[in-house]
Structure 1
C-alpha cells in the first residue's frame, strides 16, 4: 500500500513529537493546505501526475529517447505503413511519428484518462462525503464544512491512487494505442522504446523485428481510428457510459465511514486501497461491460488480423510475436490489473481470439474491402452473439455491394453517437 503522499498523515514526526505542540504540526498543516487547494474536479490531477512521475523516477521514466532510437522508430513506422497498404483498404492514418519516454506517454495520455476516470471518481468522492454520520460531524463541531473538506480529501486520495496506477501503466505500454484506446493526439503514431525492449525480452527475436511488429500494430490502429470517423468518440463514450453506471454498496460505505476519522487521511486511503469502493455487479453493469468488451475485442481483433496479413511471409517471427501480443492483451499486465481495481474498469479484449477469427472469416467470404466496409456504420458491427459464432458471421454478413466503400467513410462524420442500448455494439 502506498504511503500518504509527502509524508502527510499520522506519525509525521519523530517518536518524541508532542501532539499538543502546534509548532511541530506546522509542516502538516502547510502540506494539508497545499494538497487541499485543488479545485479542478473529483480527481486531483496535479497530485496524480506528480505521483506517477515519482513512480517512474526509479524506472528510467524521465530518460530522454536517444537519436538512434528515434530513427529506428521512424524507419519501422514508415515500413509498417508500407506493408499495411497490402492488407487493408484504409489508407495511412499517420500524420506524424514520435518516440515517447514513459513520462511523455504520461503527459500525452492524461487528458483522455481524465475524461475516463472522473465519472467514477465523482461517485466515490460523493459517497465518502455523504456517508459521514451526522453525529460524527456534530461531535467534531464541523457540520457541513467538514463534508466539503471530505470532498477535497477524497479527490486528493483518488488522485493518489490513479497516479500510482498510471505510473505503473507507463512502465508497460509500448505505444499510444497499446490498450486499445486512442490515448494520444489524433494521427500521432508513437512507440515507447524503453517498454518495447521489455516486451521483447525473452522472446528470442531480433530487437528491430520486435519494434517493427509493434509499429505494425500502432499504424493499424491509426488507420482504423483515422478512417472510421465515429469510432474514436464511440469507444470513449462506451467506456464513459460504463463508468457512469457504476453502483457502490452504500451500506458498506456508510458502515466503513463510521469507523474512519475524517481528519485522518491515512484512514481514508486505507479504505480506498482495501477495495471499499469496488463497484457492485448489477444487470445494467453486466450489459455495459459486455458492450465495452465486444467493442474493444472488435478493434483489437481487426488490428490482429490486418497485422498478421501484412507481416505474412515477410517477418520470420510474426507468429511468435502475434501470440505474445495476444496473450499480453488478453491477460493484461500487473499495472493494468492494478488500475482496473482502482477505477473499476478492465480494458482487456477478453474475446480477442473470437474477434480475430470473425474478421478472418469475413475476409475469406467478402475480401479485404468487404471486411473493412463493416466499419462504415456502428449498426453494422458484429454483436457479442456474433462472436459466439464468428465463422457464421462471415456467411451472414451482407454482400460487399451493400456496404459503403471505405473511401466513402468520410461522409459519415455525423454518426459519432454510435448505437443505442441494445444495438450492435454488443
Structure 2
C-alpha cells in the first residue's frame, strides 16, 4: 500500500471525461493492500463445496430453478476493485457523454477521480462477497456471464476479527451470494427491470435533473431482492447464524468516526434497512404461503411488491393470488 503514490495518481488525473477511470483503479489499488490469496487445497475446495451446497439447498427448499454463474472467482482486493471500476464506468457513461459543461474541467476531474478512488478503496477493503449481474453491460441480459466473487482476504480478516470459524463464516457468505444468483436466475426479467430504472435515473442526472420515481422504484426492487435473499438464508443455511449477523452488525456500527461517516455517505446503512424491511415482508408472505409462494414475486415484474405492500404484506397477498 502506497498512499503517497495514490495521492499523486489522483492529482495527475487526465483525459477529457469527468473521471480518469484508469487513475481511479490505480489510486484505489495503491491505497489498498491486495491481501493474501495463497489458498490451501482445503480452502479452495471449501469455497467450491459451499457454493454447490448452497445451490442444491436453494433448489430443493426454495422451489426456484437457476444455474450458477459461469464466473465464480476467489479474488483479492485489487481484483475486486478492477471488476467494479468497470461497473461504475458503465453506470457513469451517460453522465460523462451527455452531462453539462463544467467551469473548471481539470479540477473537477481530479475531485471526481479522488472521490471515486477513495470509495473503491474503502469498499475493496470491506466487501466480503458479491453477486454481479453485470448491469448495463453491452450483451443482452440473458446472454451475460454473471459473476460470483469472494474477496478472500476480507473474509479471513473479518472472521478473525469476529472470533468466528473461518469455514463457517465463508459458508454463510457463500449462501447469501448464491441466494442472489437464485433470484436473478428465477427472474430473467429482473436485470432489465433494474437497468431500466437505473438508466432513467442516470440519464436524468446527465440532463441536470433528478428522476425521483426511477430511484424510488429501484430502491423498492432492491429491497425485495435483499429481503428475499435474507429469507432464503433463513430457510436454507444449515446452521443458526444469529450470532454471525449480530457480530457483523456490531462491527459495521463500530469503527472510527471517519469509517462511520464513509458508510453513511455510501448508503451502507440504507442497504441494511433494505435487508430488514424486505426480510420482514418475505417472512410474512412465506408464513402465509410457504417459500414457494414467496417465490411468486419473481414470476413477472407485476408481482414485485409496491412500496406500501412492503410494510403491509397482506395487501400483496390479496393482490397476488395463490395461483400466481
The answer, yes or no, to whether TM exceeds 0.5 is yes
Following the alignment from structure 2 to structure 1, what is the Cα–Cα distance between the partners of residues 292 and 253? Answer: 27
Shift of 1:302: 0.1
The answer to whether 1:348 aligns with 2:324 is: no
Unaligned runs of 5+ in 1: 10-30, 130-149, 251-279, 404-426
**In structure 2, distance between residues paired with 1:382 and 1:356:** 12
Which structure features the higher share of helix residues? 2
CA contact (8 A) 2:253 2:260 kept: no
2:95–2:203: 8 Å Cα contact kept in structure 1?
yes
**Residues 227 and 276 in structure 2, CA contact (< 8 A), matched pair in contact too:** yes
User: How far, CA to CA, are the matches of 1:95 and 1:221 in structure 2?
Assistant: 11
Map residues 76-87 of structure 1 onto 2, 5 A cutoff: 76-87=50-61
- Equivalent residue of 1:382, what SS? coil
Alignment of 1:305-324 (within 5 A): 305-311=231-237, 314-315=238-239, 317-324=240-247
Matches within 5 A, 1:216-255: 216-246=175-205
The change in CA–CA distance for 1:8 and 1:362 in structure 2 (over 3 A counts) is closer
Which shifted more, 151-160 or 70-79?
151-160
Please give the alpha-carbon distance, in whole angstroms, between the structure 2 residues aligned to 1:329 and 1:292.
24
Q: Counterparts of 1:346 and 1:126 in 2: how far apart (Å)? A: 31
Contact 1:361–1:393 under 8 Å retained in 2: no
For the residues of structure 2 that align with 1:169 and 1:290, how far apart are their CA atoms? 24
TM-score by length of 2: 0.80
Matched, 1:300 2:300: no
What is the CA deviation profile of residues 266-321 of structure 1, one whole-angstrom value per residue up to 9, with x for unaligned ones? xxxxxxxxxxxxxx9x7x53x4443232222110100000111002xx31x42222
- Summarize the Cα distance change of 1:239–1:324 in structure 2 as closer, same or farther, 3 Å threshold: farther
Q: 8 Å contact 1:196–1:210 — kept in the other structure?
A: yes
Matched with 1:357 is 280
**Structure 1 residues 71-102: Cα deviation after superposition (integer angstroms, max 9, x where no partner):** 22112212222222232122343144321111
Separation of aligned partners in 1, 2:311 and 2:94: 32
Q: How many pairs were matched up?
A: 310
Mapped to 2, the partners of 1:175 and 1:345 lie a distance apart of 15
1:198-238: CA deviations, max 9, x gaps? 33245443211111111000111111112311212322443
Structure 2: segments with no counterpart, 5+ residues: 136-143
Question: Which structure has the larger Rg?
Answer: 1
2:262 corresponds in structure 1 to: 338
Distance 1:119 1:70 in 2: 39
Partner of residue 113 from structure 1, selected from 88, 99, 105: 88
Given the alignment of the two structures, is residue 50 of structure 1 paired with residue 26 of structure 2, yes or no? yes
Aligned partner of 2:123 in structure 1 is 169
Cα offset for 1:384?
0.9
Task: Report what 1:396 is aligned to.
Answer: 318
Q: What is the SS of the residue equivalent to 1:176?
A: strand
User: Helix, strand or coil for the counterpart of 1:190?
Assistant: strand
Is the Cα contact below 8 Å between 2:200 and 2:214 reproduced in 1?
yes
Instruction: Look up the match of 1:160.
Output: 114
Q: Distance in 2 between matches of 1:73 and 1:112?
A: 25
CA RMSD, aligned part only?
3.7
Secondary structure at 1:400 match in 2: coil
Of 131, 138, 152, the residue aligned with 1:193 is 152
Give CA deviations for 1:350-404 in whole Å, capped at 9, x if unaligned: 24222112112222222222211221221211011112213x2454242232x2x
Match of 2:138? none
Other structure's SS at 1:86 match:
helix
